[in-house]
Structure 1
Amino acid sequence: MFCHTIDAPFLAPSFQEIANRYRDNPDARIMLEHKLRVGGRAHWGNMAMPSPAERGGPLSPEDAHTLIEWVLRH
């Protein structure tokens, strides 16, 4: 929650921006869940998603799924 906010870009896109970009893409959930779990290259600007070690530890597949479902509803 340090990098994202609900409705305004901060260090990363807002949850609303992510939802707007990916909501109607059926393949996005899998990609976003994977990126949330392992980090990855930048899709928005120059800042990559930090690795789990840089964010406090690993995230289970179930928790990643729950978080992405929540984000895509915004």
Structure 2
Amino acid sequence: MPRKRLPPAFTASRSPGRPRAGAFRLRFIAVSAVSTHAAIALAALPEPTELIEQQHCMFCHTADAPAPFLAPSFHQIAERYRDKPNAHTQLEEKLRRGGKAHWGDLPMPLPVERGAPLSAEDARTLVKWVLSQ
């Protein structure tokens, strides 16, 4: 079987120790892809305003106060739970079923006490948004 000839760009002489243009492009694309993915992952999701109003979240929470008001700020919650393995599930359950106090004396009230029932999908939306803060 005859050998295929490489295009001139691949056979052109280059100085020793200097990577080929193709290798540079490949590294650039890889770094760009990773950087873009990281930027998207760190970008805050759009606020689910209707859900926040329906559940009266701002009665107890703030977006980013340095000290808890009645409950921790969304930023404080994100800082505490963002890297925990089952945080999504834990927080979704707490939103849907209420729960004991972890930040002070005030427990998380049940959804009907906050304004309306909360579906699993809506709880997931709220948790994703809070953890993106």
Deviation at 1:2, TM superposition (A): 1.2
Gaps of 5+ in 1: none
TM-score (norm 1): 0.95
RMSD: 0.8
Q: Establish whether residue 69 from structure 1 lines up as the match of residue 128 from structure 2.
A: yes
Whole-angstrom distance in 1 between the partners of 2:100 and 2:119: 20
SS in 2 for 1:33: helix
Gaps of 5+ in 2: 1-57
Which digits, 9 at most, give the CA deviation of each residue in 1:3-59, with x for residues without a partner?
111101211000000000000002111010000011000011111001122111210
Structure with the bigger percentage of helix: 2
TM-score (norm 2): 0.54
- The answer to which structure, 1 or 2, has the higher relative contact order (CA under 8 A, 6+ apart) is 1
Q: Which letter maps to 1:4?
A: H
Aligned residues: 74
Return structure 1 stretches of 4+ with deviation > 3 angstroms: none
Partner residue, 1:5 = 62
Determine what percentage of the aligned residue pairs are the same residue.
Answer: 68
Which is higher, the Rg of structure 1 or of structure 2?
2
Partner residue, 2:114 = 55
Taking the TM superposition and a 5 Å limit, the aligned residue runs for 1:28-47 are 28-47=87-106
